[in-house]
Amino acid sequence: MKLYGAPMPAPNPRRVRVFLAEKGIDLAETPVDMMQREHKSPEHRARNSLGQVPTLELDDGTCISETVAICRYFEELHPEPAMFGRTAVEKANVDMWVRRIEFQLMMPVGQFWRHAHPRTAALLTQYKDFGESNKDAYSGAQKWLDRELSDGRPFIAGQDYSMADICALSTVDFARWIGLPLDEDKPHLKAWHDRVTARPSAKA
């Protein structure tokens, strides 16, 4: 199989690399040069019609896209350590937090990146006032997540490191790269970020 992706700072390929590192799965990433628009090439669109990375191509030619779907595939093959929970309640809780992170944390970061960052100006029509407004939305999301983590749990979905933490880590680090740092007055969120960044998988 081949995993098509891109290096840092691309957040979505990093999600899968961190997940594989936590699982101890050795799968080399086949790089797609996004600066050269290789992800929009006919060859790559044959694997992923949306022209996105990461994309996992299995030995039989089946292609799986979307980070959570790719990670769930590997979770089924390698269930330990469990990254999506073990019991019905744990699995539902991780799914809930993955969705919350994507909508509350990642969405304003993505909208700022698309509509207010100079690197994307040539790729689409930017609505800069809207883009800039997402700074406040991201700050609000940080406040919400800091409050959620104030109960003392070590990780976003509870006592165990999970896919929810991976989604949040990749988002927060990408946000910082595009000029949206963590707010200094969010001690619980910062402590969480320090914990997950200290894990060896965070270097993936």
pLDDT in tens, 28-53: 999 999 989 999 999 999 999 999 99
- What mean pLDDT is predicted for residues 77-83? 98
Q: Output the pTM of the full model.
A: 0.96
**Is there a contact between 73 and 138 (Cβ–Cβ < 8 Å)?**
no
Distance separating alpha carbons of residues 11 and 15, to the nearest angstrom: 6
What was the pLDDT predicted at 131?
A: 97
The confidence band for 123, taking pLDDT boundaries of 50, 70 and 90, is confident
* Residue carrying the six token digits 């997540």: 145
- What mean pLDDT is predicted for residues 58-78? 98
Instruction: Tell me the two tokens of residue 134.
Output: 């997402």
Model pLDDT for residues 166-178, shown as the tens digit of each residue: 999 999 999 999 9
What was the pLDDT predicted at 50?
A: 97
What was the pLDDT predicted at 112?
A: 97
* Residue carrying the six token digits 């994307």: 120
Q: Is the pLDDT of residue 139 over 90?
A: yes
Distance separating alpha carbons of residues 46 and 39, to the nearest angstrom: 10
List C-alpha distances in Å: 114 to 109, 125, 136, 188: 9, 9, 16, 29
What was the pLDDT predicted at 105?
A: 97
Q: Is the pLDDT of residue 81 over 90?
A: yes
Supply the CATH classification number for the domain 88-203: 1.20.1050.10
Torsion sign across C-alpha atoms 39, 45, 46, 48: positive
Listed range (57-66, 85-94, 98-107, 116-125) with the worst mean pLDDT = 116-125
Q: Tell me: domain 2-77, CATH 3.40.30.10, correct?
A: yes
Half-sphere exposure of 157 (CA within 13 A, CB side): 27
The edge-to-edge listing of strands for the beta sheet with 2-5 is 29-31, 2-5, 55-57, 63-65
What was the pLDDT predicted at 194?
A: 98
- What mean pLDDT is predicted for residues 95-113? 98
Query: Hey, where are the domains in the chain?
Result: 2-77, 88-203
In the chain, pLDDT over 90 holds for what percent of residues? Answer: 98
What was the pLDDT predicted at 35?
A: 87
What was the pLDDT predicted at 170?
A: 98
Distance separating alpha carbons of residues 101 and 110, to the nearest angstrom: 12
